[in-house]
A and B are shown apart, each in its own frame.
Chain A
């Protein structure tokens, strides 16, 4: 990572943010700067660019912009990341939502779909597949294409299999996939009740009403004020007594929303919407 020739000043990062907003419509101005800066520097180093070149191609090369977007929006995700979270979901949330006629779930910032299919497997296991529907959204349309396919490298699936074992679900992760050579395709019945579409948490609004919203390890990329704005969006998108799941190291810091969400599981960061 350390190349003395590539530095990026705060002013340059600001210029880049303005440029991207103007040309491509994505607003990164309230993203956490340390992480964003590191991502941009990585591109500059990997592609051996000067800052001036980077600005030039961001303006003129749509194809490159997609590569850029893939790099700066972190798309690292796992199936059953934090197995103890899925255990808590199974024990504390599923019994509650299973009484509903329909269970609508929103996985916000779903990247290549791993969390959506983890939730689909969990709901299927609980016998709730037919009455549940999972919406996966992300800012990055290319990632959503991957998510829709539901095809994952077998190596990756093997690394997710350990998570699955710890989650307490029965059988093994590969039970839910058809494996051919080095690719694992998620079973088609798990895909039936999913829908992937573009949604930008920074700029887009409420689009449905949900019993469960999962947005884990997305807030970490946002500054505190933006986090609060998105909490508002989630609050307005949840049915009364609906559940909000955040990443285990994320925190509701705003006093306003501390009063609007009741903690159900503090360690796993699961909340329930309070209706006042």
Chain B
């Protein structure tokens, strides 16, 4: 399958790219952020399941390997273009109408904090169709409901093809509830994100 015009245009018209993943998603997301151009003109929000109390090198590793600015999210931080934001461990990340982040320490969702569902659901209300979201490999079903909310609000929703996912449960859960408008191979995801 080659990428159709609709998907490319909707990606190009998005203000924000949401990337959600868990076990097995790290290297794919790492490759994506390495390929971004300096003039991406979008905000990128990454929610990867991570454990508390383990000093994580994700921010360091990612920021050394991307051309655009990257940081861990802080409460009430204004969401800016050409910036990659990473959801911190042991908080849920929500998005306020004023396009700033709001953090929350409430109960884990699908045993996860940060939960992809929480971020996706709140992004759906704020960005509507001006948003692209991709759900990657993972060993539980977090993110599926959130992706569905995004789709219902008109966002471009993509699940990584479970055949390409180290842990297929997460994209499969999204596909099963019809949350993913497109199911793309990893190479196709890379190709799509190259259009600017």
Which of B24-32, B57-65, B115-123, B156-164 contacts the other chain? B115-123
* Residues in chain A near residue B149, CB distance under 8 A: 2
A35 part of interface (Cβ distance < 8 Å):
yes
- Chain A nearest CB from B141 CB (Å) reads 12
Q: Which of A214-251 contact B (CB under 8 A)?
A: 217, 219-221, 223-224, 227, 247, 249-251
A250 to B74 Cα, complex, angstroms: 6
Task: Name the CB-closest residue of B to A1.
Answer: B145
* Residues in chain A near residue B118, CB distance under 8 A: 38
* Residues in chain A near residue B47, CB distance under 8 A: none
- Chain B nearest CB from A98 CB (Å) reads 27
Q: Which of B7-30 contact A (CB under 8 A)?
A: none
A39 to B94 Cα, complex, angstroms: 12
A23 part of interface (Cβ distance < 8 Å):
no
Whether A251 lies near B94 (C-beta < 8 A) is no
Q: Which of B90-129 contact A (CB under 8 A)?
A: 90-91, 94-97, 102-107, 109, 117-118, 121-122
- Chain A nearest CB from B180 CB (Å) reads 14
Q: How large is the interface on A (under 10, 10 to 19, 20 to 34, 35 or more residues)?
A: 20 to 34
Q: Which of B61-77 contact A (CB under 8 A)?
A: 72-77
Question: When the two chains form the complex, which single residue of B53, B104, B145 contacts A2, counting CB atoms closer than 8 Å?
Answer: B145
A76 part of interface (Cβ distance < 8 Å):
yes
B165 part of interface (Cβ distance < 8 Å):
no
Whether A249 lies near B53 (C-beta < 8 A) is no
B188 part of interface (Cβ distance < 8 Å):
no
A221 to B75 Cα, complex, angstroms: 9
* Residues in chain B near residue A251, CB distance under 8 A: 74-77
B148 part of interface (Cβ distance < 8 Å):
yes
- Chain B nearest CB from A123 CB (Å) reads 22
Whether A220 lies near B121 (C-beta < 8 A) is no
B81 part of interface (Cβ distance < 8 Å):
no
Question: When the two chains form the complex, which single residue of B90, B94, B107 contacts A35, counting CB atoms closer than 8 Å?
Answer: B94
A106 to B121 Cα, complex, angstroms: 35
Whether A253 lies near B102 (C-beta < 8 A) is no
- Chain A nearest CB from B53 CB (Å) reads 5
- Chain B nearest CB from A131 CB (Å) reads 31
The interface centre, meaning the residue of A2, A82, A227 with most chain B CB atoms within 10 A of its CB, is: A2
A217 to B121 Cα, complex, angstroms: 22
- Chain B nearest CB from A11 CB (Å) reads 13
Whether A39 lies near B106 (C-beta < 8 A) is yes
Q: Mark A2-42, 1 if CB is under 8 A from B, else 0.
A: 10100000100000000000000000000011110011000
A83 part of interface (Cβ distance < 8 Å):
yes
A166 part of interface (Cβ distance < 8 Å):
yes
Task: Name the CB-closest residue of B to A218.
Answer: B105
| A35 with B104, Cβ < 8 A, contacts A163-B53, A249-B88 known | yes
B181 part of interface (Cβ distance < 8 Å):
no
A28 to B76 Cα, complex, angstroms: 17
A177 to B25 Cα, complex, angstroms: 41
A10 to B122 Cα, complex, angstroms: 13
Whether B75 lies near A220 (C-beta < 8 A) is yes
Question: When the two chains form the complex, which single residue of B74, B90, B96, B121 contacts A1, counting CB atoms closer than 8 Å?
Answer: B121
A223 to B76 Cα, complex, angstroms: 8
- Chain B nearest CB from A163 CB (Å) reads 7
* Residues in chain B near residue A220, CB distance under 8 A: 75, 91, 102-105
7 A-B pairs with the lowest CB-CB distances in the bound complex, closest first = A34-B94, A2-B145, A32-B102, A220-B103, A74-B106, A35-B104, A220-B75
Task: Mark A residues whose CB is within 8 Å of B.
Answer: 1-2, 4, 10, 32-35, 38-39, 74, 76-77, 81-83, 162-163, 166, 217, 219-221, 223-224, 227, 247, 249-251, 253
Could you give 12 example pairs across A and B, Cβ below 8 Å? Answer: A1-B146, A2-B121, A2-B148, A33-B96, A33-B97, A34-B97, A38-B104, A77-B105, A220-B105, A249-B74, A249-B91, A251-B77
